[in-house]
Amino acid sequence: MINAYVLDACAVTAIVNGENGGEVVGAVIEAAYNGRARVMMNIINLLEVYYDKLRSLGKSEADKLIAVIKKQPIVIVSEISASVFVEAGRIKANYRISLADSIAIAEALTSGAILVTSDHHEMDEVEANENIKFLWIR
């Protein structure tokens, strides 16, 4: 059985910017290239990566980055399923967490995947109270 992973925006940003933990994300993506993992990312979390790069480096660089990401073995989930919709709503209602992070959590919960993140400040409480696995990159 291969592991399934959901990337949140900070995980992708870590590898893109060469931050601590980027090597962990790189290993997950490498496992997907080798058929040892399935990697997903919701388009809302990809949007976070895009607007961050758009603000810092402009449209051309942001567009280039998204094109590179889309060439990786990452399934971009472009629709919010009914189960993710309900689960994200529940998570957002019960925890002090961003909407985008609630979607990443819901993607992981509903697909039985491991959430790849560094957002301890928002997700430690979720980890303590929900049946979800995290791969903390730092």
Q: Which CATH superfamily is domain 3-136 in?
A: 5'-nuclease (3.40.50.1010)
Which position has the token pair 């995980």? Answer: 11
In this predicted model, what pLDDT tens digit does every residue of 44-60 receive, in sequence order? 999 999 999 999 999 99
pLDDT for 69-117, tens place per residue? 999 999 999 999 999 999 999 999 999 999 999 999 999 999 999 999 9
Determine the Cα–Cα distance for residues 68 and 92; give it in Å rounded to an integer. 30
Domain ranges (residues) in the chain: 3-136
Is residue 50 within 8 Å of 62, Cβ to Cβ? yes
Could you tell me where the DSSP H helices lie in the chain? 9-16, 22-33, 43-57, 59-70, 82-94, 99-111, 120-129
Q: How far apart are CA 115 and CA 112, in angstroms?
A: 9
